[in-house]
Amino acid sequence: MSQEHPEQGSSSKRRVYPQQQYDFAAAQPAGYSMPDPTQPYGASASPSAAMYGGAHAIPSPAAFQPHTANVQSGAFAPPPGTPGSAVDPPVAPGVAGGMAYGAPQAAGAAYGYQGLTNQMGNLNIGGGGAYQGGAPPGAAGGAHMAAPTQLNQIYNTDLLQNFPPPISDLTLPPPPVILPPGSSVTGNPDPNADSEFMRCTLNTVPTSSSLLKKSKLPFALVIRPYTALRDADENVPTVADTTIARCRRCRSYINPYVVFLEGGARWRCNMCNLTNDVPSGFDYDAVANKPRDRWSRAELNHSVVEFVAPAEYMVRPPQPLVYVFVLDVSVHSVKNGLLATAARTIKESLSRIPNVDNRTRVGFLAVDSSLHYFAIPRKEDVAEGEGEEGEENEWPEPRMMVVSDIDDPFLPMPTDLLVNLSQCKGGIEKLLDSLQSMFAHTVNPASALGSAVVAAHKLIANIGGKIVCLTSTLPNVGQGKLEVRDDKKALGTSREGQMLQTASTFYKSFAVECSKTQVTVDMFLFSSHYQDVASLSNLPRFSAGQTYFYPGWIASNPEDANKFALEFSEYLSQELATEAVLRVRSCDGIRMSAFYGNFFSRSSDLCSFSTFPRDQSYVIEVNIEETIVKPWVTFQAAILHSTASGERRIRVITRAFPTSALLQDIYASADQIAITTYLANKAVEKALQKGPQDARDLLMNRLNEMFTCYKKDLMTTNVGASAPLQFCTNLRMLPLLVNALIKHIGFRKTSQIPSDLRSAALCLLSTLPDKYLIQYIYPNFYNLIFMPDEAGLPDAETGQIVMPPCTNLSGEHLISHGLFLIDDGQVMFLWVGRDAQPALLQDVFGVSSITEVPTGKTELPVLDNQFNERIRNIISKAREKTDAITYQHLYVVREDGEPALRLWATTHLVEDRVEQSGVTYHQFLTSIREKLNS
């Protein structure tokens, strides 16, 4: 992909389309100019800053972060003017606030940005005492907080006045974690783990479970152990000397928050307060054979470190990576080209499969109504790792053995079915080349996938590894056979929940079997008919794999083939860890109570992963069992695993959070992104147990509870008769995200979504890392004709493509002559308005009229003009990632085009009604307010 387009000379100007100029004037009186990047008073003013409801003036639009305001010194800027006085009489609460600005803006740029902010500030104060004032310094946290540390302040926002929601909040970092000075043992300024690795729903931890219960906020950790698919893209320090200091009692690892005692001879564990001896090699550099400075040790300076583990941490020597490909060779897969594409992709990616020490092994198994094993003979005279190239023709032919006993599959021969990748590369390539021709004339519609997985498991059970299933047929014979149970009439009813559950217990019980033998099953599903994703996804779910669903995939469509090839190649190249276990430890009185994600819970606090994927995150619910007396608590996640290169390692992620006994501190430091991640996982669990209706109810109830609690206990100001809907500023995106989640394809109330799509969406919702999860719930929406001049071009300093600002996902922004991009991280829509100008169409698509614009799955043509290049840059930038394998399809949607496609695209506009039964976000908020005030 072409990320790095050289700028086409600074003189080339953005083309302005006549309609666009016309609309500047037309759009203003309509009143939705606030969030529109075309506002005449300076394009740099970000909508979020302008709409921010806090009374204190923010000098810079980028500086919206009330909770960061000088927490250390405890000072905050007094509000300009007198809060709560002068209310502009004609301004009514609600959207009217936004509308009222239509007039002054249209009158020209008479109001400077600063003036506008002040106006907005006053306006919101009038709306309902937006500024509550901070807690007095020192009051927070009781006696032990006597230090000058002050926790985050609570700020109120009136959600109905702060409308449309300032979506730039979604990309903000979580509320800062404010630890008392000197809490870490070294002078490292930032000993806390990055919020990317671990985030907590409550960045200030309540001291008692009664407070937690009262707050109605969930208490959970979101853990994402890896932030890149490959080690090269990650920067985690390694402790290589195998001196691992751990607490004798609670087994936690030494970290930046311990205390050294007795001149450094002993250390006190920050979790359980036990005093431990410092191990003998701790201050000694075994490589250079001389004493070393203790304070330079990585585990005391960084809270994400990787220890190289000694032999005590191994049950057996680190296993080699093993991949068994289970290929569907029934007529469906041959016809839609899956077999050929998969074989070609595997062949092309053989060199990308992690294989540093030449131990990686692969095996192939084809399945229709019988099992086809392939013996790949080893060529004796070829030396390891060299000499295969150029001699491919001399490789002996791979042999195929067909076993038709699918009820009790067995291995036809003991060797050669699982071969060393380096030693047998030529034979593997030969096999992959011939696969398509072997099965080209098959007419067999059956698939014994279950039996094939059992056979593949037999093949690798003594080593462990990955079973990669690629299938486009419903497994209809053999073990774990499934039936078509897709009942269109049941969709949208209470019976829908059953279709999300597994139809055969085989897929669960076999997942347990896989987990016992360190085997992971990954599913790549391609059916254009019902495939029972709900049942099949259980194998990956409980064996730490993933389900990848390509509905209606067909290789003759170059976009489909390209997407799968790119994703599968990325998938194969990720550096897998094997035989992993994850355990999270914390201080006394805190217990991990529930675990969400794809893995098997081997004991009450131990998650086991046969192989550890790098693109998933996990949610762990936390319980407070005893009152916490410490001023701050630490959480430590440790992942013991074997790397792809055959080392046993422990990745330790430590984070500390302050505690408080005050409800407002808890709310002021709550992290809306983490809460949404937790709620999504919780809702997925509910949907899988009971059905989407219960999941929606759960989301709604949790949100209502928070609002009720906030209103009852934290709104001290007299709100008057108008009764605004107030919530704390750091959580002001939460209602939007919950509303978007309720409208999400996984939970939406509708009878239009096939259960396969729904199951696949639920799989994603419970595994995506927060960054992609939020995008999946609330997609990025770019207005491509009103974007800033620099958008779509490489940044002068970093060389990265600048993305245009996101717009609120509301249909009112879809102006009829516009061009828009909606990107939910899984699929992208390029929306072409019905009145799009011919010049625009010419530039982007190279066609002169809207009827000629190609719709559906496609790619943009490469044209020699800057606008086309910028849009292509933006699209490829949106697809560029180092921490996920997804490559989004691009759908071009014409406003006057195919209704189904248009409807699909508009269901992503989650601030509007989605399908027949939904409510707009504004109505959603109003209904919460009514419920709250009744």
In the complex, the smallest distance separating the C-beta of residue 461 from other proteins, rounded to whole angstroms, is 15
Query: Contact between 812 and other proteins (CB under 8 A)?
Result: no
Nearest to 552 by CA among 541, 564, 543: 564
In the complex, the smallest distance separating the C-beta of residue 155 from other proteins, rounded to whole angstroms, is 37
In the complex, the smallest distance separating the C-beta of residue 698 from other proteins, rounded to whole angstroms, is 15
Query: Contact between 511 and other proteins (CB under 8 A)?
Result: yes
Q: For strands 220-223 and 618-624, give the pairing.
A: antiparallel
In the complex, the smallest distance separating the C-beta of residue 544 from other proteins, rounded to whole angstroms, is 12
Site stretch for other proteins (CB under 8 A), options 241-249, 385-393, 604-612, 829-837: 604-612
How many residues bind to other proteins according to rule CB under 8 A? 19
Query: Contact between 685 and other proteins (CB under 8 A)?
Result: yes
Site stretch for other proteins (CB under 8 A), options 12-20, 201-209, 507-515, 783-791: 507-515
- Judged by CB, which is closer to other proteins: 601, or 851? 601
* Residue 250 labeled ligand binder: yes
* Residue 247 labeled ligand binder: yes
627: number of Cβ within 10 Å = 14
Query: Contact between 542 and other proteins (CB under 8 A)?
Result: yes
Query: Contact between 763 and other proteins (CB under 8 A)?
Result: no
Nearest to 350 by CA among 563, 572, 568, 575: 572
Sequential DSSP letters for 667-701: HHTB-HHHHHHHHHHHHHHHHHHT-HHHHHHHHHH
- Judged by CB, which is closer to other proteins: 603, or 798? 603
Query: Contact between 315 and other proteins (CB under 8 A)?
Result: no
- Judged by CB, which is closer to other proteins: 140, or 695? 695
Stretch 778-797: interaction string toward other proteins, x if CB under 8 A: --------------------
In the complex, the smallest distance separating the C-beta of residue 250 from other proteins, rounded to whole angstroms, is 14
Query: Contact between 583 and other proteins (CB under 8 A)?
Result: no
- Judged by CB, which is closer to other proteins: 453, or 853? 453
- Judged by CB, which is closer to other proteins: 370, or 504? 504
Cβ–Cβ < 8 Å for 112, 59: no
Q: How far apart are CA 494 and CA 807, in angstroms?
A: 36
Compute the radius of gyration of the chain from its Cα atoms: 29
Query: For the chain, how are helix, strand and coil distributed in percent, rounded to 5?
Result: 30, 20, 50
Applying CB under 8 A, among 283, 348, 605, 915 the residue interacting with other proteins is 605
Applying CB under 8 A, among 335, 508, 529, 583 the residue interacting with other proteins is 508
Site stretch for other proteins (CB under 8 A), options 85-93, 602-610, 667-675, 802-810: 602-610
Cβ within 8 Å of residue 910, ≥6 positions away: 739, 740, 743, 744, 777, 778, 779, 809, 921
Applying CB under 8 A, among 235, 528, 601, 701 the residue interacting with other proteins is 601
HSE at residue 447, side-chain half, CA atoms within 13 A, is: 26
HSE at residue 799, side-chain half, CA atoms within 13 A, is: 5
Query: Contact between 694 and other proteins (CB under 8 A)?
Result: no
- Judged by CB, which is closer to other proteins: 503, or 821? 503
In the complex, the smallest distance separating the C-beta of residue 515 from other proteins, rounded to whole angstroms, is 8
Query: Contact between 603 and other proteins (CB under 8 A)?
Result: yes
Q: How far apart are CA 229 and CA 243, in angstroms?
A: 28
Cβ–Cβ < 8 Å for 816, 804: no
**Burial track 614-624 (b if 16+ CB lie within 10 A, e otherwise):** bbbbbbbbbeb
- Judged by CB, which is closer to other proteins: 249, or 602? 602
**Burial track 271-284 (b if 16+ CB lie within 10 A, e otherwise):** bbeeebebeeebeb
Query: Contact between 512 and other proteins (CB under 8 A)?
Result: yes
Nearest to 401 by CA among 426, 367, 424: 367
In the complex, the smallest distance separating the C-beta of residue 535 from other proteins, rounded to whole angstroms, is 13
At residue 542, φ and ψ (nearest 5 deg) are -100, 5
Site stretch for other proteins (CB under 8 A), options 3-11, 506-514, 526-534, 743-751: 506-514
Site stretch for other proteins (CB under 8 A), options 326-334, 383-391, 593-601, 654-662: 593-601
* Residue 269 labeled ligand binder: yes
In the complex, the smallest distance separating the C-beta of residue 762 from other proteins, rounded to whole angstroms, is 16
Q: How far apart are CA 870 and CA 862, in angstroms?
A: 11
Q: Report how far Cα 517 is from the mean position of its chain's Cα atoms.
A: 29
In the complex, the smallest distance separating the C-beta of residue 506 from other proteins, rounded to whole angstroms, is 12
In the complex, the smallest distance separating the C-beta of residue 761 from other proteins, rounded to whole angstroms, is 21
Site stretch for other proteins (CB under 8 A), options 55-63, 597-605, 820-828, 845-853: 597-605
- Judged by CB, which is closer to other proteins: 595, or 678? 595
Applying CB under 8 A, among 139, 594, 661, 901 the residue interacting with other proteins is 594
At residue 496, φ and ψ (nearest 5 deg) are -60, -35
Applying CB under 8 A, among 556, 604, 718, 916 the residue interacting with other proteins is 604
Cβ–Cβ < 8 Å for 185, 681: no
* Residue 272 labeled ligand binder: yes
Indicate left, alpha or beta for 825 from its phi (over 0: left) and psi (-120 to 50: alpha): left
Q: How far apart are CA 309 and CA 388, in angstroms?
A: 35
Cβ within 8 Å of residue 721, ≥6 positions away: none
Applying CB under 8 A, among 64, 600, 707, 924 the residue interacting with other proteins is 600
Q: What strands, in cross-sheet order, belong to the sheet with 198-200?
A: 198-200, 220-223, 618-624, 590-596
Helix or strand (DSSP H, E) at 618: strand 618-624
**Tokens linked to 75:** 């000072």
- Judged by CB, which is closer to other proteins: 213, or 931? 213
In the complex, the smallest distance separating the C-beta of residue 588 from other proteins, rounded to whole angstroms, is 17
Cβ within 8 Å of residue 305, ≥6 positions away: 236, 237, 238, 239, 298, 299, 651, 652
In the complex, the smallest distance separating the C-beta of residue 318 from other proteins, rounded to whole angstroms, is 22
Site stretch for other proteins (CB under 8 A), options 182-190, 409-417, 559-567, 592-600: 592-600
In the complex, the smallest distance separating the C-beta of residue 773 from other proteins, rounded to whole angstroms, is 21
Q: What strands, in cross-sheet order, belong to the sheet with 780-783?
A: 780-783, 819-823, 827-832, 889-894, 856-857
- Judged by CB, which is closer to other proteins: 604, or 916? 604
Cβ–Cβ < 8 Å for 743, 253: no
- Judged by CB, which is closer to other proteins: 147, or 461? 461
Query: Contact between 623 and other proteins (CB under 8 A)?
Result: no
**Burial track 510-531 (b if 16+ CB lie within 10 A, e otherwise):** bbebbbebbbbbbbbbbbeebb
Site stretch for other proteins (CB under 8 A), options 439-447, 485-493, 536-544, 763-771: 536-544
Q: What strands, in cross-sheet order, belong to the sheet with 266-268?
A: 259-261, 266-268, 275-277
Q: How far apart are CA 619 and CA 606, in angstroms?
A: 13
Site stretch for other proteins (CB under 8 A), options 368-376, 504-512, 733-741, 769-777: 504-512
Q: How far apart are CA 214 and CA 70, in angstroms?
A: 29
At residue 418, φ and ψ (nearest 5 deg) are -120, 115
Site stretch for other proteins (CB under 8 A), options 149-157, 347-355, 510-518, 634-642: 510-518
Applying CB under 8 A, among 5, 379, 399, 516 the residue interacting with other proteins is 516
Query: Contact between 602 and other proteins (CB under 8 A)?
Result: yes
Q: How far apart are CA 183 and CA 902, in angstroms?
A: 55
- Judged by CB, which is closer to other proteins: 679, or 928? 679
Which parts of this chain interact with other proteins (CB under 8 A)? 505, 508-509, 511-512, 516, 538, 541-542, 594-595, 600-606, 685
Q: Which amino acids are annotated as binding site for Zn(2+), given as ranges?
A: 247, 250, 269, 272
- Give binding residues as ranges: 247, 250, 269, 272
